[in-house]
Amino acid sequence: MDKMTQKLHDFLLQQVNEMAQEWLDSREIEENSVYSADASPEVTEYLREQNHYFTRTIVQVLKEGSFKNLSGWAQEIATKRACSGNPLYQSIRHFKTFRFIFLNRIEVFVDLHQSNITQRDILLWNKILNEAFDQMIELFTRYYGEVAEAQAYSQKMLISELSTPVISISDTVGVVPLIGQIDDYKSNDFAEKIMLQAKDLELSCLIIDLSGVPSIDTMMTNELFQVVNMLELLGIDTTITGIRPEIALTAVQLGIDFSKIRTYGKLKDAVSNLLHKR
């Protein structure tokens, strides 16, 4: 490391506290965010310590000429942000804010040592430090995504394990309320669970409610109606409620015959009519 780069390294380390404070002062009120300006003193100090660690990690790149140590900070903080539920875009915005503060400090250093700094020095520092920021953001985004994906998968598996597809509302009538994306049910032996539970509960009628399903693809529409056909073989009549226009369109395009299936616009109407009949 040449003499001026060493001086810049030392100068930036001396500015750690001031840069952190400037960043903290730039915060705005953000609801349910760790970055909010009205966060508790404990959270503010926690952010200050993280920022100190971040700055020292970035500055170290000047000395070592390597980006290998960036991963540790990125993984630790990304994991905390993802686990706390802070949206990714908030972290990216604060990265951008702090990069501006950081580069302003380099401008101050250049102004203080103009006679000893070449254009080549400035271009080199700019290249190294911006690359360090870019790599840190890329690593942060990757680790955040991995944690968020793992959380979503765990939640889906937990729902699958704990949920009971068929809800019995009388001795002979049951309801299967589908919520969220139908695609979530593909790997959960959903059709098998429905048939086994309907059979175990000795149901004669099963209501499949789709009012909580925002969309459905062609493959899952076909699979859903295959379940209807299999229930029929078991002697169980199927009623479908809450069919959205796009689901109906997909079914028609597949040539699925609705004439054998009882349908209602609302679940409560189906429940009322079926229970009254029985």
3-class SS of residue 213: coil
pTM, two decimal places: 0.61
Same domain? 41 vs 125: yes
Contact 238/232 with Cβ under 8 angstroms? yes
- Whole-number average pLDDT of the chain: 86
pLDDT of residue 25: 97
pLDDT of residue 156: 66
Q: Which of 160, 185, 209 is the last residue of a domain?
A: 160
Same domain? 130 vs 175: no
Question: Other C-beta atoms within 10 Å of 91: how many?
Answer: 21
Same domain? 255 vs 150: no
Q: Which domain holds residue 120?
A: 3-160
Rounded-to-integer distance, Cα 91 and Cα 76, Å: 13
Same domain? 272 vs 226: yes
Q: Which of 140, 160, 180 is the last residue of a domain?
A: 160
The Cα-based distances of 110 to 2, 5, 103, 114, 176 in angstroms read 15, 11, 11, 6, 68
Question: What order do you get walking across the sheet with 205-212 strand by strand?
Answer: 167-168, 173-179, 205-212, 237-241, 262-264
Q: At what angle do helices 88-112 and 3-14 cross, to 10 degrees?
A: 120
Of all helices (H) and strands (E), which one includes residue 229? helix 218-233
What is the C-alpha radius of gyration for the chain, rounded to an integer number of angstroms?
29
Contact 217/182 with Cβ under 8 angstroms? yes
Same domain? 67 vs 191: no
Same domain? 70 vs 207: no
Same domain? 191 vs 117: no
Q: Which of 129, 160, 191 is the last residue of a domain?
A: 160
Structural domain count, the chain: 2
Contact 187/219 with Cβ under 8 angstroms? no
Same domain? 57 vs 98: yes
pLDDT of residue 160: 59
Same domain? 111 vs 179: no
pLDDT of residue 210: 84
Higher pLDDT, 15 or 256: 15
pLDDT band with cut points at 50, 70 and 90 for residue 158: low
In the chain, pLDDT over 90 holds for what percent of residues?
50
Q: What is the CATH number of the domain that holds 105?
A: 1.10.490.10
Rounded-to-integer distance, Cα 232 and Cα 179, Å: 23
Q: Please provide residue 153's backbone torsions phi and psi, each rounded to the nearest 5 degrees.
A: -65, -45
Q: What is the CATH number of the domain that holds 196?
A: 3.30.750.24
